[in-house]
């Protein structure tokens, strides 16, 4: 005998109400990944497409600029290797333990690093890493021997990927590594802070000072004129004053922004180009910004008020 029609209608009416309630219970528990995925239609098939989706989410105020920058930094870290961000051998702050402590102790105090590669005679002979805090014993222990204070140095090839290096740093609780070339020579140094800065941006500590005199350093004369080593974050007004140029700061504030605008892209290490009567070479850069430039002022001076970036 068929069911009474009213019972069937009642069942049909209650089922949607139950499903709606169940769905409302599940929705708040979706993970961030699931919610981000829900925004993607169709699903991205490459990293570039995924970044486009994330950039679109930023434009729609779904994620803020800092979150987008860190996500992009995570992707970039997997593409970079130690040679791309290491501090070059010539710029390493080291101590030579073959010399008396009194000779290099003022250098340790002035640079204010927490760790120093310890060398013996030359920069290729790294014998360990000295923690600055261990030097406190020097003032209280008459039999202090700096060699007893050294921690083992970690050596890595310059081709080591940063994502792998970061995992090793965390696993081994290590903060610093020596970068070596294929012949075993020391090519530079890299720290866990250097890697993290590729993701979160510059990390300043209590010993990082904004001293403008360090932004532009004279390094002698080149083929055409005086040369300077210039930080990318140097303000254009300071650059003009020191170099004698007349670049406009209406569109950008820093010399790194100026060269990026000129090239219409992020400068790469090794890029060489002229802007007006000034020659630029990129010495250090990462996928997001230029860090250090070699600048040479050409003999012909620009006229006062001339917009050399134009």
Highest-confidence segment of 38-52, 189-203, 296-310: 189-203
Please state the domain extents for the chain.
Answer: 83-200, 212-297
User: From CA 253, how far away is CA 235, in angstroms rounded?
Assistant: 6
User: From CA 216, how far away is CA 228, in angstroms rounded?
Assistant: 6
Instruction: Tell the residue number behind the tokens 């600055």, with chain if given.
Output: 132
Give the percent of the chain with pLDDT over 90: 24
User: Under a CB-based contact definition with an 8 Å cutoff, are residues 265 and 274 in contact?
Assistant: no
Higher-pLDDT residue of 185 and 16 is 185
pTM above 0.85, yes or no: no
User: What does R_g of the chain's alpha carbons equal in angstroms?
Assistant: 28
pLDDT of residue 127: 93
CATH of region 212-297: 3.30.465.10
Model confidence at 129, pLDDT cuts 50, 70, 90, reads very high
User: Nearest to residue 39, comparing CAs of 63, 70, 66?
Assistant: 63
Kindly state which CATH superfamily the domain 83-200 is placed in: CBS-domain (3.10.580.10)
Higher-pLDDT residue of 22 and 285 is 285
CA 81 to chain centre: 12
b/e map of 135-163 (b: 16 or more CB within 10 Å)?
Answer: beeeeeeeeeebeebbeebbebebebebb
Sheet containing strand 226-231, strands side by side: 216-221, 226-231, 290-297, 278-285, 272-275
Decide if pLDDT at 234 tops 80: yes
Highest-confidence segment of 3-7, 127-131, 280-284: 127-131
Decide if pLDDT at 306 tops 50: no
User: Under a CB-based contact definition with an 8 Å cutoff, are residues 220 and 297 in contact?
Assistant: no
**271-305 tens-digit pLDDT:** 899 998 899 998 877 767 888 888 998 776 433 34
**61-87 tens-digit pLDDT:** 888 777 877 787 787 788 888 988 888
What is the Cβ-side half-sphere exposure of residue 210, based on CA atoms within 13 angstroms?
5
* Paired strand residues for 129: 117, 151
pLDDT of residue 27: 46
Model confidence at 34, pLDDT cuts 50, 70, 90, reads low
Decide if pLDDT at 210 tops 80: no
What is the Cβ-side half-sphere exposure of residue 19, based on CA atoms within 13 angstroms?
6
User: From CA 257, how far away is CA 309, in angstroms rounded?
Assistant: 11
pLDDT of residue 138: 83
What is the Cβ-side half-sphere exposure of residue 129, based on CA atoms within 13 angstroms?
18
């Amino acid at each position: 005998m068929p069911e009474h029609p009213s019972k069937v209608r009642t069942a049909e009416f209650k089922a949607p109400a139950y499903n709606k309630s169940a769905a409302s219970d599940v929705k708040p528990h979706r993970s961030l990944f699931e919610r981000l995925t829900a925004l993607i239609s169709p699903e991205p098939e490459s990293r570039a497409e995924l970044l486009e989706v994330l950039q679109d989410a930023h434009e729609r105020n779904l994620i803020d600029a800092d979150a987008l920058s860190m996500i992009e930094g995570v992707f970039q870290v997997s593409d970079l290797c130690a040679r791309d961000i290491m501090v070059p051998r010539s710029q390493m702050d080291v101590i030579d333990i073959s010399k008396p402590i009194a000779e290099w102790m003022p250098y340790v105090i002035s640079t204010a690093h927490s760790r120093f590669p310890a060398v013996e005679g030359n920069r290729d002979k790294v014998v360990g890493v000295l923690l600055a805090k261990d030097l406190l014993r020097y003032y209280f222990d008459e039999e202090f021997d700096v060699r007893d204070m050294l921690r083992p140095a970690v050596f890595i090839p310059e081709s080591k990927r940063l994502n792998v290096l970061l995992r090793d740093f965390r696993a081994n609780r290590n903060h610093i590594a020596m970068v070596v070339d294929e012949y075993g020579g020391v090519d530079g140094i890299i720290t866990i802070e250097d890697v993290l800065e590729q993701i979160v941006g510059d990390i300043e500590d209590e010993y990082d000072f904004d001293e403008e005199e360090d932004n532009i350093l004279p390094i002698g004369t080149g083929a055409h004129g005086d040369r300077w080593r210039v930080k990318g974050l140097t303000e254009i007004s300071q650059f003009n004053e020191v170099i004698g140029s007349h670049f406009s700061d209406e569109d950008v504030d820093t010399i790194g922004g100026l060269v990026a605008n000129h090239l219409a892209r992020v400068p790469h290490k090794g890029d060489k180009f002229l802007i007006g009567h000034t020659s630029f070479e990129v010495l250090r850069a990462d996928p997001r910004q230029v860090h250090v430039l070699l600048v040479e002022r050409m003999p012909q001076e620009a006229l006062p008020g001339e917009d050399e970036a134009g």
